Structure 1
Amino acid sequence: MARFSEKVNVTICGGGNGAHTLAGLSSLVENANVTVIDVYEDEAERWTETMKSMGFTVKFSDGESLYQKPGEVKFRVSRDVKSVVPKSDILIICVPAYTHETYLNLVSPYVPDACPVIGMPGQPGFEYQALTILKENDRKCTVMSVETLPWACRISKYGQEVDVVGTKEEVRYTLVEKLRQDKKTLKMDPASIIQTILGQKPKLYREKNILKYTFLCIPTIHPPIMYARWRNWDGKPLNASPLFYQGADEDAVKYMNGVTDESIEIAIALTKKVPDQDFSVVSTMQEWLLDHYTDQITDKRSLFTCLKTNKAYDGLLHPTTKTSDGKYVPDLTYRYVREDVPYGLIVIRQIAEMVGVETPVIDEIILWAQEKLGKEYLKDGKLCKLDRENGRLPLTYGIRTIEEFVSFFA
């Protein structure tokens, strides 16, 4: 069993797939005292009551199950931010990016300076968003951003059971200590805490160049697949929800490659603009998949075959809602659009604007997404101003140029 050398108070914010998985795994680490903060409606109460009678299980696709019996579950769920957060040794925000603002505002007045604040997943811009809100509350915390959830996971029974379909081989993160004064007061290195919770897989790797970290592929996976599948949808309900990754066609592959090709062009321009920083290894989508799912992809010849034969993606479906007659229509406001566009693609899009790189594929997807979300991110080829609740443009946080982006973290 994994263990911490001393007691560590782990606070997890969230109530979704990732928070369920993280709570189940972290609570089994020896010397971990785990509390989940869930402030959405009555989820904390429902989750607590369910565990009292049913216990809690993390199930893996290889058949392994980590079961905690009723009355013996080693974590608790609460909505009491004021009593839980001040005792935290590490605080992990495990929610979609569009709720980061909510949780950061809730916890920042109470989080100890010696407690690192971690976004998992962070998504582009978590670092400057968290630093800004912490500073507004006179907090001096270390900020860590983990590029993606370590697992493909789905709640099968709320508050009782979560399925881990696949686990990534590696995951990258950033670490910023700009606000800190006495760096010796941290109980443990936050990356070491997260690695202990995750176990041997995935392996965490630090990316020191936050600009490059912004181009990691996570925000560029979901929107192209959604766009390719639903841009010409005729509005007629379907008999079943289509496969998401494994149902991607050549049109989806074209848009996925188009977005990452444009990201690589931006990285090349940044190499000239900021020559003292390393912008190498900004991956193609195929390279990213092979890095993260090496042993789970059986046909590695192309992006198309990687998507089709990735065991970690087995059975994962497009987000849909069921109609009254038992058919299915797409949920075009799901986080694959609602999160990955205003907290992903538009961040990349502003950086492209800063260095003068045109992004026709990214623009095409953003224009489609903003119509579905009822928002306005692009108009006449220019980014629109956004408040902090509607997106994470660097401009919203006073970052107008590449030089200001780099100096923000100095």
Structure 2
Amino acid sequence: MTEFSDKVNITICGGGNGAHTLAGISSLVPNACVTVVDVFENEAERWTNALANYGFTVRFSKDVMLHQKPGKVKFRVTNDVESVVPHSDILIICVPAYTHEIYLNLISPYVPETCPVVGMPGQPGFEYQALTILQEHGRKCKVMSIETLPWACRISKYGQEVDVVGTKEEVCYTLIDKLSKGNPSKRLDPVSVLQTILGKKPQLAKEENMLKYTFLCRPTIHPPIMYARWKNWDGKPLDKPPLFYQGVDEDSVRYMDGVTDESVKIAAAVTEIFPSMDFSGVSTMQEWLLDHYTDQITNKQTLLTCLQTNKAYDGLLHPTTKTADGKYVPDFTYRYIREDVPYGLIVVRQIADFVGVETPVIDEIILWAQEKLGKQFIQHGKLCKLDRTDGRLPMTYGINTIEDFFNFFK
């Protein structure tokens, strides 16, 4: 097992699937001192009680698991931000993007300037959101954004057990040191810390082009699948939740391809403005899947077969809620829409505006999603102004042109 040569204080913000997995894995690395900060309702208390009674397990398969016995769990859970954050060597925000604002505001008054702040996943715009909020609190920290969770994972028993059904081969990240230049300090390398936690897989790959990274975050997977499945839903409850990735059809693929095709066109338009910028890797959805799940896809012929035969997606279902009579209705407030549209697609949509590219497929999905969320992102074909708690639109952060976007990070 990899290890840290000296003690490293790792603070994880969150209480969901990713935070469960990260806490279980990182706490077993020698010299890691892991604390989870969870401020949502009474989750910290529930999780703490579960650890005391049942221990904690990260299950990779029926035969492969990391188990920590009750009384010997090597991480703790608290909702006390002020007592934990000042002692952090690295702080990882592992929550959906719509709660990033909450955690960034909570931790910014206390986070040491020597402590990198990591979004995992960051989703499009995490960098300019985090830099802005840290600046508002007078903090000068490195900001790192990871394009996606390293694993496909699901909590099976809250506070006790999480299942990892798939691990990605490689994930991209960005690292911004804009605020900390010239500050003398002893600094940890966040990339080295995270790679030590993750082990051999996935490998972390740095992306220097901030705009290209926005497309690599792939807010283009979940919304098209949700839209294709539910756009003509008659409102009648279902007997069981449908499969998510493995339940896709040709209509789903058409929308997924449509969104990624528009993203590729946007990247090409940016390249015409900035010929020296590298946009290789802004690819089709099929190519993205093959890059991330090379050994787990058994039929690589088409996007449809890649989705349907990806072992990492085995059994994953559409987000639903259970009715009083035991049937199921779609949950349109789940992160597949609530996160990936206002903290994903609308960012891509504004970049398209910057470079004059039309996005009919993206617009169609956003218009449907905004009705489900009770929000307004597009009106009369134009993006609406948003409060920053409602989405991560670049213009909300003073980024009004493609030049502003690049200059923001200089």
Tell me which residue corresponds to 2:205: 205
Please state whether the residue corresponding to 2:253 is helix, strand or coil.
Answer: helix
Please state whether the residue corresponding to 2:180 is helix, strand or coil.
Answer: coil
Distance 2:62 2:407 in 1: 46
Distance 2:329 2:43 in 1: 26
Quote how far apart the aligned CAs of 1:182 are: 3.7
Tell me which residue corresponds to 1:292: 292
Provide the aligned length of Structure 1 versus Structure 2.
410
Tell me which residue corresponds to 2:31: 31
Residue 131, structure 1, aligned to residue 131, structure 2: yes
Quote how far apart the aligned CAs of 1:157 are: 0.5
Distance 1:229 1:53 in 2: 41
Tell me which residue corresponds to 1:241: 241
Deviation digits for residues 51-72 of structure 1 (CA, Å, limit 9, x no counterpart): 0010000000363110000010
Distance 2:63 2:344 in 1: 34
Quote how far apart the aligned CAs of 1:299 are: 0.4
Please state whether the residue corresponding to 1:95 is helix, strand or coil.
Answer: coil
Contact 1:224–1:256 (8 Å) recurs in 2: yes
Quote how far apart the aligned CAs of 1:184 are: 5.9
CA gap 1:312/1:344 in 2 versus in 1, 3 angstroms:
same
Distance 1:357 1:22 in 2: 39
Distance 1:235 1:147 in 2: 34
Please state whether the residue corresponding to 1:52 is helix, strand or coil.
Answer: helix
CA gap 1:183/1:298 in 2 versus in 1, 3 angstroms:
farther
Please state whether the residue corresponding to 1:129 is helix, strand or coil.
Answer: helix
Distance 1:204 1:231 in 2: 36
Tell me which residue corresponds to 1:346: 346
Q: How does 1:160-175 map to 2 (within 5 A)?
A: 160-175=160-175
Tell me which residue corresponds to 1:9: 9
Q: Kindly report the root-mean-square deviation, in angstroms, between the aligned alpha carbons of the 2 structures.
A: 0.9
Tell me which residue corresponds to 2:370: 370
Residue 83, structure 1, aligned to residue 107, structure 2: no
Please state whether the residue corresponding to 1:329 is helix, strand or coil.
Answer: strand
Q: How does 1:136-215 map to 2 (within 5 A)?
A: 136-182=136-182, 185-215=185-215
Please state whether the residue corresponding to 2:237 is helix, strand or coil.
Answer: coil
Quote how far apart the aligned CAs of 1:181 are: 2.6
Quote how far apart the aligned CAs of 1:281 are: 1.9
Distance 1:182 1:27 in 2: 32
Distance 1:248 1:183 in 2: 51
Residue 409, structure 1, aligned to residue 409, structure 2: yes
The residue type paired with residue 141 of structure 1 is C
Distance 1:211 1:314 in 2: 32
Distance 2:225 2:381 in 1: 23
Distance 1:186 1:152 in 2: 34
The residue type paired with residue 373 of structure 2 is L
Runs of 4+ in 1 over 2 A off after TM superposition: 181-188
The residue type paired with residue 374 of structure 1 is G
Tell me which residue corresponds to 2:253: 253
Please state whether the residue corresponding to 1:185 is helix, strand or coil.
Answer: coil
Please state whether the residue corresponding to 1:219 is helix, strand or coil.
Answer: coil
Tell me which residue corresponds to 2:61: 61
Distance 1:78 1:325 in 2: 37
Deviation digits for residues 296-341 of structure 1 (CA, Å, limit 9, x no counterpart): 0000001000000000000000000111111110001110000000
Tell me which residue corresponds to 1:230: 230
Tell me which residue corresponds to 1:380: 380
Deviation digits for residues 259-299 of structure 1 (CA, Å, limit 9, x no counterpart): 00000000000001122221122111000000000000000
Distance 1:138 1:360 in 2: 41
Residue 400, structure 1, aligned to residue 391, structure 2: no
Contact 2:36–2:78 (8 Å) recurs in 1: yes
Structure 2, unaligned runs of 5 or more: none
Please state whether the residue corresponding to 2:8 is helix, strand or coil.
Answer: strand
The residue type paired with residue 320 of structure 1 is T
Contact 1:115–1:186 (8 Å) recurs in 2: no
Q: TM-score, normalising length from structure 2?
A: 0.99
Contact 1:217–1:283 (8 Å) recurs in 2: no
Tell me which residue corresponds to 1:52: 52
Contact 1:217–1:288 (8 Å) recurs in 2: no
Quote how far apart the aligned CAs of 1:218 are: 2.3
Q: TM-score, normalising length from structure 1?
A: 0.99
Contact 1:61–1:166 (8 Å) recurs in 2: no
